[in-house]
Structure 1
Amino acid sequence: MLLVYTHKISPRLKYVFKHICTRVLGIEVSFTTTVEEFIAHDSMKMSYAKQQLGSEFFVKSHDILFEQGLSDVEINVHDWENTKCFFYNGDKSSIPFDIFAASFYLLSRYEEYLPHVNDEYGRFSATESIAFKNGFLHQPVVDIWAYKFKEKLQKQYPDFEFPPRTYSIRPIIDVPSAYTFRLKGLLRSFGGIIKDLSELKLKRLYDRFMVVFGFKHDPYDTFKYIINKQKQTKHKFLFFFLIGAYSTYDKGINPNKKKFVSLIKQVADYCKVGLKASYFAIHDPIILKREKLRMESIINTSLTASRQSFSKLNLPESYRSLIELEIQEDYTMGYVNQIGFRAGSCTPFLFYDLDFEVQTPLKIWSYHVMDYSLLKTKSLLDKKRVLTDVINEVKNVNGEFVPVFHNYTFSDDERWKGFKELFNMILESANE
């Protein structure tokens, strides 16, 4: 156990120390404000304050962990060894910056509460982030800092044994629409035919009729292939099905269709199934509750995981709605068009509500790459190189790699050529 001496035990301090020490490094941590108790402790210990007590391991504290609410925090990013850092604290500290304050800033998504410019869907853009602006979005810096903290602690306490941590993967399969042409209903199918004719998409029109009349396989129906892949690995895939109403943004399959319900049940026999919340459910807790209950009636068990349509998050409201409905896990945190670590970490973390100053029970799995972001790179060779780089970043800190693919990514569409191979690379990375 690590004992931390500090002048004040705040909710923010407990939150971030437990993430770094317990979730990343696997060690218990406790806190004291009593000097005598700290001196009497005969195992690993450190002080986190403005002044060092003696010759103990010491990290000079930044004020952010002892504040409440938001303030105009000054951020100056520095180079540090093979990474970046901020909240520099001088030479007297065992580490030249406050890794706990910096980690809290990234994990709590402090910057997303501050004034910023949203994209056309109302999302926080990667280009607005401190990580993108300062060139460290590609690194899980919170985990890198934690491992450097561990190295320095081990030098001072060479007899202390840290538990091992191993690299793992958690593949996400996002299903905004299970089929291209099947189960779309008469009105939507007729509208699709008119649209194909008006745009002279004769090949698509031919495919539509062949699928509808059962002469051809639906292009988006790749579920058999994905389930076969699931059978080849011990790492569970997470499927997120959209079952919300048809709208401007969401064009999924009607959840009342028996064949669609049957598909979800079939997938749930092999993989974990969560809810892809519709675009309007993000803003309306009543719609979200309706979709949650509908999904639970399909899978015949409590819904534990969700993902928001278009990867849209409104902090803290989006997460408060999930907590209210007792949804335990969220997989929305990430950037659709940018590879990297939105929260600076490849270790799942609990959502901290900055308005209420409380750690919540909602666990966040931040995703690190979405198939769309790989379309930016032209050749398959470049895609492999980019994917290998991000996998290696996670492997270096024995973290958990979370990629997001869609059911149509595995189709024969020219756009997604080579993506089956990329997905295989991810699966194989966990077996090496």
Structure 2
Amino acid sequence: MLLVYTHKITPRLKYVFKHICTRILGVKVEFTTKIETFIAHDSLKMSYTKQQLGNEFFVKSHDILFEQGLSDLDINVQNWENTKCFFYNGDKSAIPFDIFAASFYLLSRYEEYLPHVKDEFGRFTAAESLAYKCGFLHQPVVDIWAYKFKEAIQAQFEEFKFSEKSYTIKPIIDVPSAYNFRLKGFMRTLGGVVKDIFRFRFKSLYIRFMVILGFKHDPFDTFKFLINRQKNTKVKFLFFFLIGDYSTYDKGINPNKKKFVSLIKHVADYCLVGLKTSYFAIEDISILKKEKLRMEDILNTTLKASRQSFSRLNLPESYRNLIELEIQEDYTMGYVNHIGFRAGSCTPFLFYDLDYETQTPLKIHPYHLMDYALLKTHSLLDKKKVLNEIIHEVKQVNGEFIPVFHNYTYSNEKQWYGFKELFNIILESANED
């Protein structure tokens, strides 16, 4: 156990120390404001305050963990060996930066509560983030800092044995529409036919009729391939099916179609299944509740995980709605068009509500790569290089790598050429030393 002496025990302090020490490094952590208790402790210990007590392991604290609400922070990002950090705390500290304050800033998504420019879907973009602007989005800095802290404290407590965790992967299959042409209904099919004709998409028109007549396989129906891959790997895939009502943004399959329900049940026999919430469910808890109950009826079990449509997040309301409906996990934290670590970590963490100053039970699993971001790189060789680089970053800190691919990513469409091979690289990375 690590005992931390500090002048004031706050919810923020407990939250971030437990993420770094317990979730990343596997060490239980306790806190005290009593010097006598601290001196009497004969194992791993450190002080986290403004002034060092004696010659103990000491990290000089920044004010952010002792504040409430938001303040105008002066952030100066500096180089630190193989990475970057901020909240420099001088030479007297055992490590040159207050990694706990910096980690809290990233994990709590402090910057997303501050004024910023949103994109056309109302999303916080990578370009608005400190990590992107200062060139460390590609690194899981919170985990890297945690291991630097471990190295420093291990030098002072040589006999203490830290537990080791290992690299894991959690492949996400996002299903906004299970089929491109099947089960769309007469009016939607007619509308599709008219569009194809007016846009001179005769190849699409031909495939549409061949699929509807049963002579050809629907291009989005890659579920047989995915289930076969699932049967040959120990890693559980997590599917997110959209079962919301048809709208401007959500054009999935009608959830009342028996064949669609049967597909979800079939996938759930082999893989994990969660809810891909519809575009408008993010703002309306009644829609979210309806979709949750609909998915629970299909799965015949309690819904555990969700992912927001278009990767939209409106903090803190989006997460509060999930908590109110007792959804335990969310997989929306990431950027659609940029590869990297939105919250600075590749270790799942609990959502901290900055308005209420409380740690919540909602576990955030940040994703680090979406298939669309890989389309920016042109050749398959470049895609492999980028993919291997992000895998390497996560492996270095024994984190959890979460890629998001879609069901149509595995189709034979030209733009998705080579993505089956990329998926195999991800699956094989879990078996390598």
Asked if Structure 1 and Structure 2 have the same fold, meaning a TM-score greater than 0.5 normalized by the shorter chain, the answer is yes
Deviation (angstroms), 1:231: 1.0
Give the Cα–Cα distance (whole angstroms) in 2 for the partners of residues 107 and 287 of structure 1: 28
Give the Cα–Cα distance (whole angstroms) in 1 for the partners of residues 44 and 115 of structure 2: 41
- One-letter code of the match for 1:397? V
Residue aligning to 1:330: 330
1:67 aligns with 2:29: no
Residue aligning to 1:118: 118
Deviation (angstroms), 1:224: 0.5
Matched residue of 1:115: which SS?
Answer: coil
1:280 aligns with 2:280: yes
Residue aligning to 1:106: 106
Give the Cα–Cα distance (whole angstroms) in 1 for the partners of residues 143 and 106 of structure 2: 12
Residue aligning to 1:78: 78
1:400 aligns with 2:400: yes
Give ranges in structure 2 of 5+ residues lacking alignment.
Answer: none
Residue aligning to 1:308: 308
- One-letter code of the match for 1:262? S
Give ranges in structure 1 of 5+ residues lacking alignment.
Answer: none
Residue aligning to 1:339: 339
- One-letter code of the match for 1:163? S
Give the Cα–Cα distance (whole angstroms) in 2 for the partners of residues 183 and 131 of structure 1: 43
TM alignment of 1:147-226, pairs within 5 A: 147-226=147-226
Deviation (angstroms), 1:422: 0.3
Matched residue of 1:362: which SS?
Answer: strand
Residue aligning to 1:12: 12
Give the Cα–Cα distance (whole angstroms) in 1 for the partners of residues 192 and 141 of structure 2: 47
- One-letter code of the match for 1:208? R
1:422 aligns with 2:401: no
Matched residue of 1:244: which SS?
Answer: coil
**Please, what is the CA RMSD of the aligned residues?**
0.3
Residue aligning to 2:247: 247
Q: Residues 30-87 of structure 1: CA distance to partner in whole angstroms, max 9, x if unpaired? A: 0000000000000010000000000000000000000000001110000001000000
Matched residue of 2:423: which SS?
Answer: helix
Deviation (angstroms), 1:272: 0.5
Give the Cα–Cα distance (whole angstroms) in 2 for the partners of residues 201 and 401 of structure 1: 38
- One-letter code of the match for 1:203? K
Residue aligning to 1:27: 27
- One-letter code of the match for 1:55? N
Residue aligning to 2:377: 377
Deviation (angstroms), 1:178: 0.1
Residue aligning to 2:87: 87
Give the Cα–Cα distance (whole angstroms) in 2 for the partners of residues 358 and 236 of structure 1: 32
Deviation (angstroms), 1:232: 1.3
- One-letter code of the match for 2:30? S
- One-letter code of the match for 1:123? R
Aligned residue pair count: 432
Residue aligning to 1:146: 146
Give the Cα–Cα distance (whole angstroms) in 1 for the partners of residues 43 and 374 of structure 2: 47
Q: Residues 18-37 of structure 1: CA distance to partner in whole angstroms, max 9, x if unpaired? A: 00000000010000000000
Runs of 4+ in 1 over 2 A off after TM superposition: none
Identity of aligned residues (%): 78
Give the Cα–Cα distance (whole angstroms) in 1 for the partners of residues 230 and 150 of structure 2: 35
Q: Residues 249-276 of structure 1: CA distance to partner in whole angstroms, max 9, x if unpaired? A: 0000000000000000000000000000
- One-letter code of the match for 1:145? W
1:51 aligns with 2:51: yes
Give the Cα–Cα distance (whole angstroms) in 2 for the partners of residues 203 and 277 of structure 1: 32
Q: Residues 218-263 of structure 1: CA distance to partner in whole angstroms, max 9, x if unpaired? A: 0000000001111111111000000001111000000000000000
Matched residue of 1:280: which SS?
Answer: helix
Matched residue of 1:124: which SS?
Answer: coil
- One-letter code of the match for 2:11? P
Give the Cα–Cα distance (whole angstroms) in 2 for the partners of residues 359 and 334 of structure 1: 20
TM-score (norm 1): 1.00
Give the Cα–Cα distance (whole angstroms) in 2 for the partners of residues 247 and 130 of structure 1: 34
1:229 aligns with 2:229: yes
Deviation (angstroms), 1:345: 0.2
Residue aligning to 1:133: 133
- One-letter code of the match for 1:54? G
Matched residue of 1:281: which SS?
Answer: helix
Give the Cα–Cα distance (whole angstroms) in 2 for the partners of residues 247 and 136 of structure 1: 37
- One-letter code of the match for 2:385? R
Q: Residues 291-326 of structure 1: CA distance to partner in whole angstroms, max 9, x if unpaired? A: 000000000000000000000000000000000000
Matched residue of 2:273: which SS?
Answer: strand
Q: Residues 157-209 of structure 1: CA distance to partner in whole angstroms, max 9, x if unpaired? A: 01000011100100000000000000000000000001101111111000000
Give the Cα–Cα distance (whole angstroms) in 2 for the partners of residues 178 and 184 of structure 1: 10
Residue aligning to 1:289: 289
- One-letter code of the match for 1:379? S
- One-letter code of the match for 2:50? K
Residue aligning to 1:365: 365
